[in-house]
A and B are shown apart, each in its own frame.
Chain A
Amino acid sequence: MYQMMLETTSKDFDLGNLLQDLPTQIEKLQEARKLVLTDAVLLGEVPSPTFNEEDRIRLTVDRFRENGMEDPEIDEQGNASAVLPGSEGRSSILVMAHADSVFNATTQHVLNVGPDSITGPGIADNAIGLATVVALPKLLKILGITLKDDLILLANTKSLGRGNLEGARYFLDTKQRPISAGICVEGASQGRLSYAGLGTLRGEIRLEVPSNYDWNRFGSSGAVGHLTRIINQLLEIPLPKEPKTKMVLGGLTCGTTYNKTPHSGCLRFEITSEADEVIAELQQKVNDLCEQCSLENGTTVKLEVVATRPNCGIPFTHPLVKATRSIMDEIGITPQVIPSTGDLNVLIEAGYAGVTLGLTHAENIGEENETIQLAPLQAGIAQLVTLLQAIDKGICES
């Protein structure tokens, strides 16, 4: 007991020392952030849609090499990783950012750099996050920080949408080194604090009107009509308030013109819930609804589950979360607790303590005029670096 109290006091002392350095770090990062901005533009202007991240990954690996990382490599899933050896190397800290983007290759990937902001497709999600991870070795050098643990940097692929976090999952399944903790880096929004992964199901309802469809039968309709009915029925499914549950109808593709009745369509949706059994129950309901629509209307309606994540997390009182909150508090960042549906889920599912942080403020995320603010960036990077130091000093061990 006495030993435990002594350790707690010593950790508090160590964290206090790190927090004291924050103002100096933020000041030094004012100039050093240009490194990050440059890489954000160069990486961000290389299209990197999910499943086609090769070009951005190749540039990432070049950067790892140029920044003095050891063993830069691309694995079978296309993830780029490299290691910055620590002075002792007893364990490793993983810092990761997803390299894929929601924008396809035909989008004009041109980023505009203004005095206070950068605008363009994918800059917030996640070019600036990836650039920060890539620049970490240089930033640590500029800040005069040497870690005891090895630092593993990962640019993971196939994170978004149908990618279903496959890149990160593969990396963690096949990793060769022990990991003490992980940090997922997202461009937005500063203050984001995720320490739990939210149970998620993403699905597509695909509807086909067969070529021999009887247009004279009662209730006959084209794909638009049938999908509209399905949407109305989905919206009528009662969702529990506790455990918190949400359904988002995120996308609808159907028809190409004004005067032709479409024969097929696709509805994309996401269910998130704090309870895995609620998700399973809702999945069953959606499935039933599809079957009912198929049989009653003579159409083919199929539910395809494209991504799932179980609920997972570390406690709010975990030292990693407490240290993150202290760092944010010292900088003046108000934490916004948001359960993750991204890379963090894989990290925690694999049994590691981890958090997701956001670097700066952003607007229009997912639009071609996605914009990040530059002024908060150095504080956002400082929180990441200080948390890295805290993990390295053993402050975040439970």
Chain B
Amino acid sequence: MTGDNQKWLEHNTFHHGEFWDILDLVKEKEKKDLKISLCIPTLNEEKTIGKEVLILRSELMERYPLIDEFAVIDSGSNDKTLEVAESYGADTYLASEILPEVGDKRGKGENLWKAIHQLKGDIICYVDADISNIHPRFVYGLVAPLIKQAEVQYVKAFYDRPLNYSSGLRSSGGGRVTEILIRPLFSLFYPELTNIIQPLSGEYAARREVLEMIPFPIGYGVETSHLLDLYEKFGLNAFAQTDLDRRVHRNQTTNALGKMSFGILQTFINRLHSQGKIDRVPDVETFYRRFEVEDGSYNQLVQEVVEEERPPMIEIDGYRKRTGNS
């Protein structure tokens, strides 16, 4: 490991325990006149959304006013996600009703992108809706580096204490797609970004001014594209990461992860081209193909995965009007 990488890890990698004093964070936030918004993107999350809203609202809005605004942005759930979220006090929105003039696309990235328009905070924190062991650390651990360090623009979560703190070195706890796809790709093309321990984690916080200047893939590639785009603009020092300890969530099937990897690869290859790492992108397919065996015969399953992208929010008229940048 180079000296710079080690230095970055030492200075920009945190543990949520460093930010246990939430009252201190609230004071610093107020002193710096920062507003913080929390967004939970949802699609059929009735089983876990109630707990997330209950805990995060009670602790980080009512007990300690760290969060100024809390919204659930939904992709059109057909279960009781919105009803449950509202019953525990969340503001709920349908992504399709935000900036209706730009149309509606289906995907988590769409909700995250539209949150930039809908929410007013200087810092936006995104937390996935499927965390069974939700705790306030999932938010304060991510916004704290942004409150405390002006040079930090974007903070990623990582989990399960993969680093050596007291009981010996353990291997990184990244997910399967991280370890099999993203880490090898980063090692090939963006070695500095391998310092981000869990590049695909769904929890992160960022300053509005950086979120509004980058495009958002609406599907699987959104986390990867954020890292690549912000790295190109600001370098590694714009990033920080926080260990949030254990995260309990749904386990995805290998098939689902294959489809996810297919989407991420599209985004990655596009970035390689736009950032001049490769000369040209050949025509590529958008159909993900896999096989299943039934009664001794092989059936090919074909699913279309198109990684559409939303342009940087700053380019959208409606947004510029709202923020007075027209």
Binding site for B on A (CB under 8 A): 34-35, 37-38, 41-42, 45, 66, 108, 110-115
Contacts and interface: CB of A to CB of B under 8 A. Distances in A.
Interface of B: 47-48, 50-51, 54-55, 57-59, 62-63, 80, 83-84, 87-89, 132-133, 135, 248
A113 B132 contact: no
A37 B54 contact: yes
12 contacts: A34-B54, A35-B62, A38-B55, A41-B51, A42-B55, A42-B135, A45-B135, A112-B48, A113-B50, A113-B51, A115-B80, A115-B83
Task: Sort A-B residue pairs by CB-CB distance and give the 8 closest, nearest first.
Answer: A113-B51, A38-B58, A113-B50, A110-B132, A115-B84, A115-B87, A34-B58, A110-B133
A311 to B, nearest CB: 42
A305 B48 CA distance: 44
Residue from the set B48, B58, B80, B84 with the largest chain A CB neighbour count within 10 Å = B58
A45 B59 CA distance: 15
Nearest to B85: A115
Nearest to B58: A38
Contacts of A42: 55, 59, 135
Contacts of B133: 45, 110
Nearest to B84: A115
A81 to B, nearest CB: 22
Contact of A113 (B54, B83, B248): B54
A66 B63 contact: yes
A122 to B, nearest CB: 15
A55 to B, nearest CB: 13
Contacts of A112: 47-48, 51, 132
Contact of B89 (A34, A113, A115): A34
A190 B218 CA distance: 49
Nearest to A39: B58
A35 B88 CA distance: 11
B63 A41 contact: no
A111 B51 contact: yes
B55 A41 contact: yes
Nearest to A111: B51
A38 B54 contact: yes
A309 to B, nearest CB: 37
Contacts of A110: 132-133, 248
Nearest to B47: A112
Contacts of B80: 115
Contacts of A45: 133, 135
B50 A115 contact: yes
B83 A41 contact: no
A112 B55 CA distance: 12
Nearest to B136: A42
Contacts of A38: 54-55, 58-59
Nearest to A110: B132
Contacts of B51: 41, 111-113
Contact of B58 (A35, A66, A108, A115): A35
Contacts of B63: 66
Given A38-B59, A41-B55, A115-B87, 13 more contacts: A35-B62, A38-B54, A38-B55, A41-B51, A42-B59, A66-B63, A110-B132, A110-B133, A113-B50, A113-B54, A113-B88, A114-B50, A115-B80
A35 B48 CA distance: 18
B314 to A, nearest CB: 37
B139 to A, nearest CB: 14
A121 to B, nearest CB: 13
A42 B55 CA distance: 8
B132 A41 contact: no
Nearest to A34: B58
A9 B254 CA distance: 74
Contacts of A113: 50-51, 54, 88
B210 to A, nearest CB: 32
B265 to A, nearest CB: 33
Nearest to A35: B58
A110 B47 CA distance: 12
Residue from the set A108, A111, A112, A113 with the largest chain B CB neighbour count within 10 Å = A113
A38 B64 CA distance: 13
A114 B81 CA distance: 10
A111 B48 CA distance: 10
